């Protein structure tokens, strides 16, 4: 059995999610190789715990765009029984492009896989666990963020193989013309013991004061969903979820948050989850310890008042 793992990096850091998937692949008992793609990635190769690491290094591969990476992996993948990806914005687009290029099956959102390639996928707001399979090779698999822990150390020193690749015309068409990377400023919500998070259900940016006042009363920090961050209601540094922070506070209070999978992966290991949502069918209730069906504008001010009164 042979598996190729796409190892994602950012600046000089290998992504923990990729390393976790690499460790999972190794535990299945076959040969595991990895591929590192970027503008300057050679120095990262020794840190990848695989049998062999393909290094594909070129200035044109520096921007984090999927299509050039499809060209690269399409060259390597046909030799393998499976190609594994830790889900990310970049990895999902690569995996889907590869599926079309190779006419290869892609299963996504997997949380586990057996050594005879049966993938485990929670579906329909995680209300059912589906066993999924592939009908051809290479089997393409995207694993849900945070499914596997990254090993503490990298393991054995891999053999490094340089690969060159010719990019297709359409793969070179998109260009990254600007980047706004997150600035680390202020206390990190990752360390907060209590988080009050707000979503689009707050209704307007100014209503975030509801979340802020409740957070203050509880002695906690404020978090947000991508929907409100993308809309400019709250800063990216406060975002929780797949493309934001992963948190596991003692208490997580969700105000007007639907509970999309990509939000859930960032907060599901919270000790106690309380959700207020006016839609009784909101998915967040499926993983809340206390679900309150109601209007945040009615409930939250009273709640803040009651908590302040206890002090």
Partner 1 sequence: MKIAVCVKHVPEGASKIDPATKRLDRSREGALNHFDANAVEEALRLKGDGDTEVVVISMGPEAAGDSLRKALAMGADRALLVSDDAAAGSDLVATSKVLAKALEREGADLALFGQQASDADGAVLWGAVAERLRRPVISQAAELSLAGETVHVKRQTEFGYDVIEAPLPAVVAVSDAINEPRYPSLKGIMGAKKKPSETVTLADLGLDAGDAGDAGSKTEVLALGNPPARGDSRKIEGDADAAQAIVDFLAEKRLV
From ligand FAD, partner 1, none, interface partner of 134 (C-beta below 5 to 8 A by class): partner 1
Return the number of the residue (139 or 226) whose C-beta is nearest ligand FAD: 226
Question: Contact 81/103 with Cβ under 8 angstroms?
Answer: no
229 contributes a contact to partner 1 by CB under 8 A: yes
Q: Provide the 10 A C-beta neighbour count for residue 141.
A: 28
Return the number of the residue (131 or 191) whose C-beta is nearest partner 1: 131
Stretch that binds ligand FAD, among 42-50, 134-142, 151-159, 276-284 (CB under 6 A): 276-284
Q: What is the largest CA-CA distance in the chain?
A: 67
Q: What tokens were used for 64?
A: 């984090």
276 contributes a contact to ligand FAD by CB under 6 A: yes
Distance in angstroms (rounded) separating the CA atoms of residues 300 and 100:
48
167 contributes a contact to partner 1 by CB under 8 A: no
Residues 77-116 that bind partner 1 (CB under 8 A): 88-90, 92-101, 103-109
Binding test (CB under 6 A) with ligand FAD, winner from 107, 137, 147, 277: 277
Residues 174-213 that bind ligand FAD (CB under 6 A): 199-201, 203
Distance in angstroms (rounded) separating the CA atoms of residues 161 and 55:
6
From ligand FAD, partner 1, none, interface partner of 127 (C-beta below 5 to 8 A by class): partner 1
Question: Contact 219/310 with Cβ under 8 angstroms?
Answer: no
From partner 1, ligand FAD, none, interface partner of 100 (C-beta below 5 to 8 A by class): partner 1
288 contributes a contact to partner 1 by CB under 8 A: yes
Distance in angstroms (rounded) separating the CA atoms of residues 119 and 111:
8
Report CA-CA distances (Å) from 54 to 46, 82, 203, 277, 297: 11, 16, 48, 48, 54
Distance in angstroms (rounded) separating the CA atoms of residues 228 and 199:
6
Q: Which residues bind ligand FAD (CB under 6 A)?
A: 89, 199-201, 203, 225-228, 239-244, 256-258, 260, 262-263, 266, 276-279, 282, 295-297
């Amino acid at each position: 059995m042979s598996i190729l793992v796409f190892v994602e990096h950012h600046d000089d850091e290998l992504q923990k999610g990729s390393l976790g998937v690499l460790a999972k692949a190794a535990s299945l008992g076959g040969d595991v190789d990895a591929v590192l793609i970027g503008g300057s990635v050679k120095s990262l190769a020794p840190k990848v715990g695989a049998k062999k690491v393909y290094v594909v290094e070129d200035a044109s591969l520096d921007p984090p765009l999927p299509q050039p990476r499809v060209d690269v992996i399409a060259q390597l993948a046909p030799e393998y029984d499976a190609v594994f990806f830790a889900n990310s914005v970049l990895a999902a687009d690569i995996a889907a492009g590869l599926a079309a290029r190779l006419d290869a099956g892609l299963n996504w959102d997997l949380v586990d896989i057996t050594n005879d390639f049966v993938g485990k996928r929670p579906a329909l707001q995680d209300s059912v666990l589906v066993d999924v399979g592939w009908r051809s090779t290479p089997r393409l698999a995207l694993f849900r963020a945070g499914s596997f822990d990254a090993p503490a150390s990298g393991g054995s020193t891999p053999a490094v193989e340089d690969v060159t690749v010719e990019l297709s015309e359409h793969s070179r068409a998109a260009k990254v013309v600007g980047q706004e990377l997150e600035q680390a400023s202020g206390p990190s919500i990752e360390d907060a013991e209590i988080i009050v998070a707000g979503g689009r259900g707050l209704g307007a940016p100014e209503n975030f004061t509801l979340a802020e006042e409740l957070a203050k009363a509880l002695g906690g920090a404020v978090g947000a969903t991508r929907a409100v961050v993308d809309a400019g209601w709250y800063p990216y540094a406060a975002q929780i979820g797949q493309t934001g922070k992963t948190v596991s506070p003692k208490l997580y209070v969700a105000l007007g948050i639907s509970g999309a999978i990509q939000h859930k992966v960032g907060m599901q290991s919270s000790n106690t989850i309380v959700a207020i949502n006016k839609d009784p069918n909101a998915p967040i209730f499926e993983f809340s310890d206390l679900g309150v069906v109601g209007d945040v504008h009615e409930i939250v001010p009273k709640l803040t008042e009651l908590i302040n009164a206890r002090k």
